[in-house]
Amino acid sequence: MNLTVRFIYTVVQRAMSAALFGILLLIIFALSFKMGHHPYLGFYRYDYLFFCAVLIQGLMLYFRMESWQEAKVIALFHVMAMIMELVLTAPKIGSWQYPEPAILKILTVPLFAGFMYSAIGSFFARSIRLFYISFEKLPSLLNMLALALCAYINFISKFFIQDIRSILFVWSVLIFWKTKVNFQVLKSTWHLPMLPVLLFLAFLIWIAENISTFYDIWVYPSQIDGWHIVWWGKIGSWYLLLLLSLVLVMKILGKRDTQGNWQIDDVHLSDKKGK
């Protein structure tokens, strides 16, 4: 196997391992599609998706594919996502809806919904360990947290006051323009600009979103009468959501020095079992 093939194989293998949570959820979405709206043993499809998500999370912790510290990050993101879901699926807003019944839900949101966002946090946490990721020329933590918080608030507030998404995009470009992502593959260190990496990841999540809506995990108002590709503009929403997830992961799992360099704490990097 030549070096190029080994490199591609290693990158794909690690990337799929990092995205394991999300990949398993997509597989379960597809396999459960035929369940429809009918109850089985008193529970509906969405309820069984919740059971499966909890099982996946538990197994990843048991086999130490995720650490408890990483689980805390994912849990925080889960809670924030559920709050956003409750607001955006409320009848007066109705950005999207869950078309199937569920026993295990809070108002309009089935409990499994938060795990879809948790999968993003899991991906970042595992990617940082699997690829030994570090950052150069990172903005101040206060600046990043302010941007992430404003992005989160804007997801909700844009239905009541002016949408400032354009400002947030410009803000992110200005502070991350010089930021580099460093990762290790085959004992070599590679460097990439951070912004294109985030856009590419947002595009991949947009693809996963299309798969999810195809299998009726949730639907947008325009998809009620029949499925069609999700609007391209949603990539921008996922880009901002990725920033929020990444900032939470960086805040809890690592440290930024005064020169803007960030790396994961040794206590997290040293746990390699399950990689």
H or E element in which residue 249 lies: helix 234-253
Residue 170: domain span: 3-269
For residue 182, being part of any structural domain is answered with: yes
Tell me, yes or no, if the pTM score tops 0.85.
yes
Phi-psi domain of 123 (left: phi exceeds 0; alpha: psi -120 through 50; beta: other): alpha
The answer to whether the beta carbons of residues 99 and 220 sit under 8 Å apart is: no
| Amino acid symbol at 2 | N
pLDDT bucket at 141, cuts 50 / 70 / 90? confident
Residue keyed to tokens 């570090």: 134
**For position 5, what pLDDT does the model report?**
87
For residue 150, being part of any structural domain is answered with: yes
Residue 160 CA to residue 155 CA, distance in Å, equals 10
Instruction: Reply yes or no on whether the pLDDT at 270 is more than 80.
Output: no
DSSP 17-61: HHTHHHHHHHHHHHHTGGGTT--BTTB-HHHHHHHHHHHHHHHHH
pLDDT tens for each residue of 142-190 = 999 999 999 999 998 988 888 899 999 999 999 999 999 999 998 889 9
For residue 274, being part of any structural domain is answered with: no
**For position 273, what pLDDT does the model report?**
42
CA dihedral 136, 186, 273, 116 (to 10 degrees): 60
pLDDT tens for each residue of 229-264 = 999 989 999 999 998 888 888 888 888 888 899 988
pLDDT tens for each residue of 184-196 = 998 889 999 999 9
Instruction: Reply yes or no on whether the pLDDT at 136 is more than 80.
Output: yes
- Average pLDDT value for the chain: 90
For residue 173, being part of any structural domain is answered with: yes
**For position 269, what pLDDT does the model report?**
57
Domain count, the chain: 1
pLDDT tens for each residue of 62-117 = 888 888 877 887 888 888 889 999 999 998 898 999 999 999 999 999 999 999 98
pLDDT tens for each residue of 105-118 = 999 999 999 999 88
**For position 25, what pLDDT does the model report?**
95
Q: What CA–CA distances, in Å, run from 269 to 65, 246, 254, 265?
A: 12, 17, 10, 6
Residue 74 CA to residue 80 CA, distance in Å, equals 10
**For position 208, what pLDDT does the model report?**
95
